[in-house]
Structure 1
Amino acid sequence: MTDLHLIISRPAPGHWHARLDVAEALEAAGWTGDAPTLLGKDGAFWGVTSVDDDSKLTCPNDTVIEFPAGTPTVVVVAACLAAADQPV
């Protein structure tokens, strides 16, 4: 298996991006769905829950992790990959 290397660009100030940074990183890791509304892989699902960029991850064991808008992209992506049992 090859390592996944992500380059996450910051959006321009003032532009609403609906955690497009997270969605693009997860899509690069093979997650599918209706980005950025809902993406999933192997029983784990992540999606944006508000216009303020809050999001949440539902794990295969039904544990729900909520991420406030200010949560760093790398933290959200790492949690999602771990939930889907993908190497980080």
Structure 2
Amino acid sequence: MPDLHLIISQPEPGDWHGRLDVLEALEGAGWVGDDEMPLSILRHPSGAVWAVANESDDSGLGCPNGSVIEFPGSTPTVVIVAACLAATHPTP
């Protein structure tokens, strides 16, 4: 698997980018936008699904094992990305 390099630019005051930072990082790791909502829902071949829930940047992760993790809008990008990447790699 190629290395994932995450660069997060701060938006200008008043700009709302949603969780575009997470979306771009996950796409770089092989996640694919949903056919009907490509900027809100991403799917991984493992079965993991990450989705933005609202304009407050709340999001959630459905793991292949059936567990669901909810992230408040204040959750740092790196935490969400790390959780999503971890969900795609089952533990031995």
* TM-score normalised by the chain length of structure 1: 0.89
Q: Which amino acid aligns with 2:79?
A: V
Q: Which amino acid aligns with 1:9?
A: S
Aligned partner (choices 44, 48, 60) of residue 56 of structure 1: 60
Higher deviation after alignment, 67-76 or 2-11: 2-11
| Deviation per residue, 1:14-43 (Å, 9 max, x gap) | 211120010011011110014331001111
Bigger strand share: 1
Specify the structure having the higher radius of gyration (Cα): 2
Higher relative contact order structure (alpha carbons within 8 Å, sequence separation ≥ 6): 1
Count matched residues. 86
Aligned-residue CA RMSD (Å) = 1.5
1:7 deviation in Å? 1.2
Q: Which residue of 2 aligns with 1:83?
A: 87
Question: For 1:32 and 1:63, how far apart are their aligned partners in 2?
Answer: 20
Q: Which residue of 2 aligns with 1:4?
A: 4
Instruction: Give unmatched runs, 5+ long, in structure 1.
Output: none
* TM-score normalised by the chain length of structure 2: 0.85
**8 Å contact from structure 1 (residues 23, 39) kept in 2:** yes
Q: Which residue of 2 aligns with 1:39?
A: 42
Instruction: Give unmatched runs, 5+ long, in structure 2.
Output: none
